[in-house]
C-alpha cells in the first residue's frame, strides 16, 4: 500500500432556525474587508455575485442583524464594509474554528493512533 | 425579534487521498451492525442501496482496509458484518466526534456569548 496519511477535516457551521454562518460566508466577509466590495469579494472566490448575495442575505436573516453595510454611488457603484457586529462575528467564528481544529488534531491522535500507523505502513 | 438560539454544528470527516469516513458511513455501519445487512441498513437510512455500496467502496479504498465482510448465500441472499478493523474504526470515530462536539460547546460559549445574548433578546 502506498503511504497514505489519515487526517481529520472539521467543518463548523452556526445555525439559528437556519444555517447562518460557516466557512463560505467567513471567507466572503474576509474578502469584503480587503476589497471593500461584495462583487470583488465574490469574484476573488470564483463565486457568482448572485450566490454571494444569497449567502449574505440568508446569514443576516438567520442572525437577525446586518453583517455588511453598503454605500451607494461613487465611482465603483458603491462599496461594502463590515458592520461592527459583522466584524466581531467574523472574529469570533475564526477564533472558534481555529481553536476547535487545534483540539481536533489532539483528539484525533489520541483516538486514531492505530489507524494512522496501519494506513501509513 | 423572535427568540432564536445560535448553536454550532460540527462535522468531522476523515481523509487520506480522498474523503473516506464521516457521519454518513458511520451511521451506515452502525445500522449494518444492527441489521446484519447492507441493504437493510441502507433502507433504514432512506438511502439507495447503490449509494450505500459506493460510500462503502470509497471508504474502504481510501482507508486501504475492509470495513465489512459479506457472507454469500443463505435465505436472505447473504449478510454483512463489520470486520474487526471496521468495528474499531467506527468506535474511534464516534468517540472522537462526541469529544470534539463537547469541546465545541465549551468553546462556542466562550467565543459567542455576545451573540447568543443578542440573538435571544
Encode pLDDT of B81-108 as tens digits: 999 999 999 999 999 999 999 999 999 9
Cell triple for A16: 439559528
- Cell numbers for B14: 476523515
B6 contacts A16? CB cut-off 8 A: yes
| Chain B neighbors of A112, CB-CB under 8 A | 14, 92, 96
Q: Do B6 and A88 touch (CB under 8 A)?
A: no
Task: Check A16 against B119: CB less than 8 A apart.
Answer: yes
Of B55 and A74, which is predicted with more confidence?
B55
At A10 the three-state DSSP class reads strand
Average of pLDDT values for A90-108?
A: 97
Read off the C-alpha cell for B47: 438511502
Give pLDDT, residue B49.
94
A48 pLDDT above the threshold of 80: yes
Kindly give, in sequence order, each residue whose CB lies less than 8 Å from that of residue A83, ignoring residues fewer than 6 positions away.
A65, A66, A67, A68, A69
Contact A65 B118 (CB under 8 A): yes
Asked if residue A88 has pLDDT above 50, the reply is yes
Nearest chain B Cα distance for residue A17, angstroms:
7
More confident residue, A117 or B20: B20
Cβ distance of B103 and A100 shorter than 8 Å: yes
CB A59 within 8 A of CB A26: no
Question: Which residues 53-92 of B are in CB contact (within 8 Å) with A?
Answer: 62-65, 85, 88-89, 92
- In B39-100, which ranges are E strands? 68-71, 79-82
Note whether B16 contacts A: Cβ–Cβ < 8 A.
yes
Nearest CA in chain B to A1: B64
Q: What is the pTM of this model?
A: 0.86
Please list every residue in chain A whose beta carbon sits closer than 8 Å to the beta carbon of residue B6: 14-16, 20, 63
| Cβ distance of A100 and B99 shorter than 8 Å | no
ipTM of the complex: 0.86
**What is the rounded distance in angstroms from the CA atom of residue B27 to the CA atom of residue B21?**
11
pLDDT score of A73 more than 80:
no
Q: Which of A15, A11, A27, A9 is nearest to A90 (CA)?
A: A27
Contact criterion met (CB < 8 Å) for A119 and B16: yes
Please state which of the ranges A82-86, A97-101, B110-114 shows the lowest mean pLDDT.
Answer: B110-114
Average pLDDT score over chain A: 90
Cβ of B111 under 8 Å from any chain A Cβ? yes
Among A108-112, B34-38, B56-60, B114-118, the range scoring the smallest mean pLDDT is B114-118
Cα–Cα distance measured from residue B83 to residue A98, given in angstroms and rounded to the nearest whole number: 35
Contacts of A91 (CB under 8 A, 6+ apart): none
Amino acid at each position: 500500500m502506498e503511504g497514505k496519511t489519515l487526517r481529520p477535516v472539521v467543518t463548523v457551521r452556526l445555525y439559528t432556525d437556519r444555517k447562518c454562518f460557516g466557512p463560505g460566508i467567513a471567507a466572503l466577509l474576509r474578502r469584503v474587508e480587503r476589497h471593500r466590495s461584495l462583487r470583488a469579494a465574490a469574484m476573488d472566490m470564483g463565486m457568482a455575485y448572485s450566490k454571494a448575495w444569497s449567502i449574505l442575505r440568508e446569514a443576516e436573516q438567520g442572525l437577525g442583524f446586518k453583517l455588511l453595510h453598503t454605500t451607494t454611488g461613487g465611482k465603483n457603484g458603491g462599496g461594502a464594509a463590515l458592520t461592527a457586529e459583522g466584524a466581531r462575528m467574523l472574529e469570533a467564528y475564526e477564533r472558534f474554528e481555529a481553536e476547535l481544529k487545534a483540539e481536533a488534531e489532539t483528539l484525533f491522535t489520541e483516538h486514531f493512533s492505530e489507524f494512522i500507523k496501519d494506513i501509513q505502513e
